[in-house]
Structure 1
């Protein structure tokens, strides 16, 4: 194990979690930091990054029109703490703003609406097109919620997640096992980010749109916490479910080549809030990105 890997292991051990990391320059040059970066991990909401690409390609191909309005009724949508799911009344917005809400606030209702519009076949096409050898998307947020409800014997996703968040119970779910739920690897996640930044994931126009949307993500508590500099851009996507906390992002320092970094974790505890793990993701990203930046 090299010194960088030792540092990363220590960060995750101190936070009470396992961690998987990969960082590399977008242009493919320089060194790579990789800590079990080919291991399958639970994607959680990071799967929405693949759906974003599928949506952009649907815009390109005319299967969806970006500016067409869509009406969503919160009571008929997947539950979630943010976005359309948290609204009281029906919402009408364009498809491109539905996609924006899916990424910027990890809107579950928006994600399932888009998945219903483009279909799982479009997701499979993106996986094949980008060569994501170890990424598998089995369904959207509604599918994952139903899986957790079944595993816990509860009546709703909220009840199930409340039970799982208690450390006084010993209950697990297949939704936290990459063999049984939507999964990816740090390498594959970086591949998606690189394709977007290099303009090969879709048309140049749609890749620019995806970069803007990813740069608008509102959460500052993970990768951004390790790189809190106003002139550094962090554009990415988080993922959270039960003991799983992830973030994948492109970090851009002024005048330097952007760096893709993916950090996935599984905590020993199920608490709803685990600030030590969130901070560890930021620290691990800083260590990995710094090592890549220093390489020739």
Structure 2
């Protein structure tokens, strides 16, 4: 069975994985590939898709000016990509915060955008879209502060010194790795979100189009994209935490076939970089989509 082949791909990379894949235009009862699709999973930076969707909806409603200027200061920087890793203050628009939050998974941009959009409105959006098992507890800074507190570190520099020496048992108990205590959903709910966006059913058409455009501009091409030939396009969003590797997106073929895929992988090693796992995400997604296409979808 296709599900068993997918599990073997994950096992070959020294990991366990969950996956859901379905045609974008599939309605209730549509064919699907389901490997633990209803299990709760940590969504990490996949949360940014909901965040940017809410931003785009507020822009479409005239509630926010996308050109509004925001200054990213040292107090806002969390480290990592984009403005989060800049050495100096940066000024940019809300629209560009959304761009950086999706394209390079900029955590500082996401936090500042969340402060403007509102955490409660993002939660309400999830409920409106029928994402009943999606839980949003906060943004990237909330995740970072939880990690610092749980390892007894005062700042990121101290965390970088303390974390590597912690026993794996302690690391695995961190709330950011527990779907009951952090931003979470299920693989099926993530593909539902994507299908709604791709069908202009997650908000005004121009808001959905903006999210699709930004996901198509994600710079990271080592997971889902790695499993498909050049003529296939992938618009996606990654997420990564120690021992957790994930990506969700829409795969579009030249013949117009479109498939929403979400893949969540857990490894025994609590590392953020695992090329074999990245490749397994792409390979598993390809097996799932090939199966759907072979069924006449």
Whether the TM-score (by the shorter chain) exceeds 0.5 is: yes
Question: 1:171/1:105 Cα in 2 relative to 1: closer, same or farther (>3 Å)?
Answer: same
CA shift at 1:209, angstroms? 1.3
In structure 2, relative to structure 1, the CA distance for the partners of 1:107 and 1:271 (3 Å cut) is same
Aligned residue number for residue 216 of structure 1: 217
Q: Which residue of 2 aligns with 1:101?
A: 100
SS in 1 for 2:170: coil
Label 1:161 to 1:28 Cα distance change in 2 as closer, same or farther (>3 A): farther
Which residue matches 1:22?
A: 20
**1:118-172: CA deviation from partner (whole Å, max 9, x where unpaired):** 1111111211111001100100000111111121122224543665456865422
Q: How many corresponding residue pairs?
A: 292
**Unpaired stretches in structure 1, ≥5 consecutive residues:** none
* Change in 2 beyond 3 A, CA 1:176/1:126: same
8 Å CA contact 1:165, 1:272 repeated in 2: no
What secondary structure is seen at the aligned counterpart in 2 of 1:155?
A: coil
Closer/same/farther in 2, CA of residues 61 and 257 from structure 1, 3 Å limit: same
Cα separation, 2, equivalents of 1:26 and 1:158: 44
Task: State the superposition RMSD in angstroms.
Answer: 1.6
Q: SS state of the match for residue 171, structure 1?
A: helix
Distance in 2, Cα, partners of 1:180 & 1:157: 21
Give 4+ residue runs of structure 1 displaced > 6 Å after superposition.
Answer: none
- Residues 102 and 218 in structure 2, CA contact (< 8 A), matched pair in contact too: yes
1:99-130 deviation line (CA, Å, top 9, x unaligned): 01000000000100011001111111211111
Of the structure 1 ranges 254-263 and 64-73, higher mean CA displacement relative to structure 2 is found in: 64-73
C-alpha deviation, 1:290, in angstroms: 1.1
Map 1:73-88 onto structure 2 (within 5 A): 73=73, 75-88=74-87
CA spacing shift, 1:56–1:165, aligned 2, 3 Å: farther
Instruction: Work out whether residues 231 and 253 of structure 2, in 8 Å CA contact, stay in contact via their aligned partners in 1.
Output: yes
Distance 1:165 1:223 in 2: 29
Do the aligned residues in 2 keep the contact of 1:164 with 1:270 (CA within 8 Å)?
no
Matched, 1:177 2:178: yes
1:148 aligns with 2:147: yes
Give the conservation status (yes or no) of the 8 Å contact 1:167–1:269.
no
Asked if 1:295 corresponds to 2:295, the answer is: yes
- SS of the residue 2:277 aligns to: helix
Distance 2:16 2:159 in 1: 23
The separation in 2 between residues aligned to 1:283 and 1:166, in whole angstroms, is 34
Corresponding residue for residue 91 of structure 1: 90
